[in-house]
Amino acid sequence: MPPLVWRFGHRYVEGLVRDMPRILVLHGPNLNLLGNREASIYGTETLERINASLMKLGGELGVQLVIRQSNFEGELVNWIQDARGDYRGIIINPAAYTHTSIAIRDALAAVDLPTIEVHLSNIYRREDFRQHSYVSGVALAQISGFGATGYLLALRGLCEHILKTSSKGSE
């Protein structure tokens, strides 16, 4: 699936879009099934709808979002590596890889971009094997248990962080 990229249709505005901070949003394995996957845990909202809300908020906050989903660990690692230089931050729900993937953790550490880890469910109220995250140690913050709203909170928090850190740099 090609990545979703938020953009205006207008030429003049496209110039502005190019200069907007870019944020990479990554969804891990099985999140493509949201909406009919264990709805009592993950809710009824589809990934498409979550992405549409993110795109809308991204527009309001003045950032450009690129959103991708994969069921493959190496693909997620490649996208994280490619984010270096082009992006100002990452929002990631690594899904089951949260609990298994040193490779994703190492990729995030390598690119050293502010990263927000999101989980729809509260992983600390679930099975023991979900209570350890390899990603949280390299994340700026983790949001867990707010359902789809967690992604929007992550985007607001990350934008505020980017704004704060860029205004410090220009002082």
H/E element, 160: helix 149-169
**Catalytic residue status for 42:** yes
> Is 98 a residue that touches ligand DQA (CB under 6 A)?
yes
Quickly count: other Cβ atoms within 10 Å of residue 111's Cβ: 18
**Nearest to ligand DQA of 28, 114 (CB atom):** 28
Classify residue 160 as exposed, middle or buried by CB count within 10 Å of its CB (0-12, 13-18, 19+).
exposed
How many residues lie near ligand DQA (CB under 6 A)?
A: 10
**Catalytic residue status for 97:** no
3-state secondary structure of 124: helix
Q: Which of 116, 10, 134 is nearest to 65 (CA)?
A: 116
Classify residue 71 as exposed, middle or buried by CB count within 10 Å of its CB (0-12, 13-18, 19+).
middle
Q: Name the segment binding ligand DQA (CB under 6 A); options: 75-83, 117-125, 135-143, 163-171.
A: 117-125
Considering the candidates 27, 87, 97, 119, report the single residue annotated as catalytic: 119
Q: Name the segment binding ligand DQA (CB under 6 A); options: 43-51, 72-80, 102-110, 116-124.
A: 116-124
**Nearest to ligand DQA of 7, 130 (CB atom):** 130
**Nearest to ligand DQA of 107, 123 (CB atom):** 123
- Contact residues toward ligand DQA (CB under 6 A) are 30, 93, 95-96, 98, 119-121, 123, 130
